[in-house]
Structure 1
Amino acid sequence: MGFYLNSVFPFAGYQEMESDVYFVDKSLLVCELVPALGKRNRYFCITRPRRFGKSVMANMVGAFFEKDVDGRSLFADLAIAKEDIYEKHLNKHNVIYIDFSKIPEKLDDYQSYIDRISDGIKQDFLQAYPELKFDKDMAVWDILFYVFQKTNDKFIFVMDEWDAVFQLPFVTEDNKKEYLLFLKTLLKDQVYVELAYMTGVLPIAKYSDGSELNMFVEYSMATRAKFSEYFGFLDSEVDKLYETYLSVEQKPKITREDLRIWYDGYFTKSGNRIYNPRSVVCALTDNELANYWTSSGTYDSVFTYIKNNVAEVREDLPLLFAGETVRSDIQEYAATAMQLNTKDEIYSAMVVYGLLTYENGCVSIPNKELKDSFANTMKKEESLGYIYNLARESIKMVNATLAGDIKTMAEILKFAHDTESPIFSYNSEIELSAVVNLVYLAARNEYRVEREDKAGEGYVDFIFYPECKSADAFILELKIDSTPEEAIQQIRDKNYVLRFKGKLGEKPKYTGKVLAVGISYDKKTKVHSCKVEVLE
């Protein structure tokens, strides 16, 4: 057992994860890999946003295949144990496990970084094959070939965070080329490679010109269906986790619907919708809904991506925030360009890093956790112009609505319309709803805002659910070329207020007043009209 060769690290890492009360069994991934052992198409690169289970699965793959550990204690009760391949392959292979994100203390140059890995592998082989007496000054790939030649032993390579090196401050452009050459020489067309399983955030095409690592088939969330069910949580898996949560939490504060609203919404090429796994587990563990993922890394700032092209992207932000989709040609290779200048480049990067999701040629914001990140950007970045100004006005709009001050409400909506943005042409309710999202942006601090939510006998445009159950709630209906009175009448006729009533025999979920808010816009007169009534 060495530091890289048949290391204890993947076993220990997966054991720690499996012991968690909110563990999800994804062990059937192994079934996707076994048919490729020793075959020409044996190179896999899985790319996903941060915290979508890449390292967990890399640890699982290493723990399952590698010799020198007994994996039965880990896998006997998992789905893979029922498969025919289980006995044949469990702990029967040599595994070289490399986590490229692991950096020792005081390391500040690329050569030391890569020498540490290369020398570590050499040292492991000197200990594992003392009878071969090879020269330690040989290149690591020459040693591996020599071992194969003498013993016929092959090796599974499990490489986690392959792209971490590109984010290191001391790595130069020449170093990046050297690194790609290192991986190519180590892996490409080498007979000692039984399988290569590699993970990262960034697809290879962003760094390679296509020749160095073109033996890998890349599997991203947006563009490839294979492996999609193994990264992120499916609806059925969250159902089971929630059952566990209810059984272990004495005073559960989270509903199943809360998890969907906050953390669901990522589309995969296979058509599945998946949840952010880190956020789900953290929320259930803490018994609290929060932005666990978007506050955990430097690449999670919306403004990081849009700052080079605020003018173009600015027009899309209200639509995205309103829950609409925006057409985009996703080009994943562009995501790490030094300058993200076009909308497609910007949206491509945001999809790769998980800030947007992609389906059928369109991008959208997947869930509340990400909407909060967009909201923070719109409220604090003055370069966003009218969006920033409207966001600042939103506090007045919320207070005016709760007070029934329809004059102030109409003035703020007119202020929105008087901007020069083409989105404020109000040719449809979609555009009007985008404006409403902006002028009520501040409400998201104290309300859960749902658009086109099922209520009573139909779908209401907006429902504002207060976080404080004793606060006033409000239901908002929009009308073009109509009147606010008709909007309120629709709220009453379709009994939308039932959304705030508990089930028969239960106490109401909300004890404050429920307000009916009607907003209309006349395209000819360009006049906004508002009305607020208390629903009984």
Structure 2
Amino acid sequence: MSMARKLYPLGIQTFSEIRTNDNLYIDKTAYIYRMANSDGKFVFLSRPRRFGKSLLVSTLQSYFEGRKELFKGLAIDRLEKEWTEYPVLHFDLSGGKHQEEDQLNRYLDYILKYNEHRFDIKCDAVDANVRLANLISSVYNKTGKQVVVLIDEYDAPLLDVAHQDERLESLRYLMRNFYSPLKQCEPMLRFVFLTGITKFSQLSIFSELNNITNISMDEAYAGICGITKEELLTQMSDDIDRLAAKMSVTREEAILQLTDNYDGYHFTYPSPDIFNPYSLLNCFSKEKIGAYWFGSGTPTFLIEMMRKFGTTPIEIGEREMADVSDFDAPTETMESIVPLLYQSGYITIKDYDKELKLYKLDIPNKEISIGLYESLLPNYVTTEIDEGKVVIARMSALINSGDIDGALRLLQTFLETVPYCDNTLYEGHYQQMLYIIFALLTDYRIIVEQRTAKGRTDITLETHNHVFIMELKFDKTADEALEQIEAKRYADAFALSGKKIVKVGIAFNVKDERNITEWVIR
């Protein structure tokens, strides 16, 4: 008989509450001890949203407040001998999203007041930087102890406006001003921890803080946020069994599905396999596989940035090898969307070439792939997303049984009924749209414009027992498309796969019908 399960801390980001309620807590306290007792006094960590950063900040707060009783039985219990109590200032900037300059000033006023009130400090100054400096020195003098400063989502006010240069400039100046006392107060500080999604350069926000240690890609901290494969298999073993029973599959099959959907993150290399904690807990709580991380919201800032950089959906996935400066780049100086995709968790590290010092990046897992393309589809066809999902699911089933003809007929009917977003008469728009639709066909490997020895194929779809090589031709015939597959010998690349190779030439009419008009299958 397995024990009654601990409740999942869904929506709870406060360490003390999780421990007092005896909710499920994945023990990250060994990292906390290492971080708090290492060389750097100023530490920065970047991780995607809903990856457990706020809980980490809250755990640091309980630790520095010396609340030993909350850590009973955890790793740090054996490591920490002193449990010195420090005064802790905690600033959560997540409430500063979607704000103009005066609103943001009022928000900073609000979080400063909250901390002043906690330590019974009066301050007549108006400027946020003067008040922060006063707060630190007053608390230091009052308690006779160095102060700990924890800043959660330090970049929240800037994320929404990252694509608007003027607004970004004014808000960035405001935030830089707010953070500036941290350097001059250094002797009065015991530890400063900042966390967020993106890496705004030291130049812009932390020009003051040239002594900050960025642990985001340190191997020692690879598993500090998220749930590692080992933690899943040991600390959540009963949860896996419960899910398997509910889904009527074996434990191994349940692990495989969890891995396909929620695993695949690496924030350095080598790194343990890291699962998305938010999705994993929701999946166990609701006892079904779903796309939880995307929730109801479309990542609007991502779509704005894709427009700004002219990035197409095709360009998001698998990449050639990249230098670390290509994706761990400061947000405001980035020359492509790659750093934002990486820091937001839409792509992650998949491999590393030691000799060349280059990383391979790709979409982490199925949940991200499906969620991302579903949120991009409405930019290409104005359709009810559910209607699109139904068509795509039916196409999936047909392709799975090898019936590409039926799938294309279904697609043709669907495209007849949906209006397009804008009067685009260029091939790229339709190629992107078709790519998104094919990318949403679950369980297949999709490759677009795959480089083969003899050239490029347009879309290759690899299923369990078929390889469909599809060539799209705009305002030409399906035969011409098929001839290109034959002439360039695209199929040779798959000759040894042992799968049935199906060549499909597809003609798309851009000028009149804006639809697939004919196809030839060989």
Assess same fold via TM > 0.5. yes
**Pairs aligned (count):** 419
Matches within 5 A, 1:338-417: 342=335, 345-359=336-350, 360=352, 361-376=359-374, 379-382=377-380, 401=399
Aligned to 1:28: 30
Aligned to 1:182: 178
1:58, distance to aligned residue in structure 2 (A): 0.5
> Quick check: which has more Rg, 1 or 2?
1
1:519 aligns with 2:502: yes
The 3 A distance-change label for structure 1 pair 383 and 463 is: closer
Structure 2 SS opposite 1:158: strand
Structure 1 SS opposite 2:207: coil
Q: Distance in 1 between matches of 2:379 and 2:395?
A: 20
1:97, distance to aligned residue in structure 2 (A): 1.8
Aligned to 1:500: none
1:50, distance to aligned residue in structure 2 (A): 0.4
1:219 to 198, 215, 220: 215
1:237, distance to aligned residue in structure 2 (A): 1.0
Matches within 5 A, 1:28-427: 28-36=30-38, 41-67=40-66, 70-72=67-69, 74-83=70-79, 86-88=80-82, 90=83, 92-102=85-95, 109-126=103-120, 139-142=131-134, 144-145=136-137, 148=140, 152-167=144-159, 173-205=169-201, 208=204, 211-220=207-216, 223-246=217-240, 251-253=245-247, 255-272=254-271, 273-295=273-295, 297-299=297-299, 303-310=303-310, 313=312, 316=315, 320=317, 324-328=318-322, 330-336=326-332, 342=335, 345-359=336-350, 360=352, 361-376=359-374, 379-382=377-380, 401=399
The 3 A distance-change label for structure 1 pair 283 and 301 is: farther
Give TM-score, length-normalised by structure 1.
0.64
Which one-letter code corresponds to 2:230 in the other structure?
Answer: S
Given that residues 482 and 520 in structure 1 are in contact (C-alpha distance below 8 angstroms), is that contact kept between their aligned partners in structure 2? no
Which one-letter code corresponds to 1:203 in the other structure?
Answer: K
Structure 2 SS opposite 1:266: coil
Structure 1 SS opposite 2:349: strand
Which one-letter code corresponds to 2:37 in the other structure?
Answer: P
Identity %: 19
1:190, distance to aligned residue in structure 2 (A): 2.5
Aligned to 1:16: 17
Residues 369-410 of structure 1 deviation map (CA, whole Å, 9 limit, x = unaligned): 1110343256443399xxxxxx99978965765786676789
Structure 2 SS opposite 1:57: helix
Consecutive unaligned residues of structure 2, counting only runs of 5 or more, are 1-11, 353-358, 383-388, 412-425, 448-460, 470-485, 506-518
Q: Distance in 1 between matches of 2:178 and 2:438?
A: 53
1:180, distance to aligned residue in structure 2 (A): 1.4
1:193, distance to aligned residue in structure 2 (A): 0.5
The 3 A distance-change label for structure 1 pair 383 and 364 is: farther
Structure 1 SS opposite 2:186: coil
Aligned to 1:429: none
Which one-letter code corresponds to 1:99 in the other structure?
Answer: D
Q: Distance in 2 between matches of 1:47 and 1:65?
A: 21
Structure 2 SS opposite 1:519: strand
Q: Distance in 2 between matches of 1:160 and 1:407?
A: 53
> Greater CA deviation, 272-281 or 210-219?
210-219
The 3 A distance-change label for structure 1 pair 520 and 101 is: closer
Structure 2 SS opposite 1:229: coil
1:351, distance to aligned residue in structure 2 (A): 0.8
Given that residues 22 and 241 in structure 1 are in contact (C-alpha distance below 8 angstroms), is that contact kept between their aligned partners in structure 2? no
The 3 A distance-change label for structure 1 pair 401 and 357 is: closer
Q: Distance in 2 between matches of 1:392 and 1:124?
A: 54
1:197, distance to aligned residue in structure 2 (A): 1.2
Given that residues 26 and 230 in structure 1 are in contact (C-alpha distance below 8 angstroms), is that contact kept between their aligned partners in structure 2? yes
Q: Distance in 1 between matches of 2:49 and 2:147?
A: 27
Which one-letter code corresponds to 1:75 in the other structure?
Answer: F
1:23, distance to aligned residue in structure 2 (A): 2.5
Aligned to 1:476: 466
Which one-letter code corresponds to 1:275 in the other structure?
Answer: F
Q: Distance in 2 between matches of 1:188 and 1:209?
A: 15
Consecutive unaligned residues of structure 1, counting only runs of 5 or more, are 1-10, 128-133, 385-390, 414-418, 425-433, 453-460, 465-474, 492-516, 531-536
User: RMSD across aligned C-alpha pairs, in angstroms?
Assistant: 4.6
Residues 220-272 of structure 1 deviation map (CA, whole Å, 9 limit, x = unaligned): 3xx44342211111110121354121455694227111110001111221421
Q: Distance in 2 between matches of 1:440 and 1:175?
A: 40
The 3 A distance-change label for structure 1 pair 462 and 65 is: same
Given that residues 320 and 360 in structure 2 are in contact (C-alpha distance below 8 angstroms), is that contact kept between their aligned partners in structure 1? yes
The 3 A distance-change label for structure 1 pair 383 and 212 is: farther
Aligned to 2:472: none
1:440, distance to aligned residue in structure 2 (A): 4.5
Given that residues 327 and 339 in structure 2 are in contact (C-alpha distance below 8 angstroms), is that contact kept between their aligned partners in structure 1? yes
Give TM-score, length-normalised by structure 2.
0.66
The 3 A distance-change label for structure 1 pair 519 and 203 is: same
Residues 135-174 of structure 1 deviation map (CA, whole Å, 9 limit, x = unaligned): 7668442454356457642111122112223358898743
1:519, distance to aligned residue in structure 2 (A): 1.6
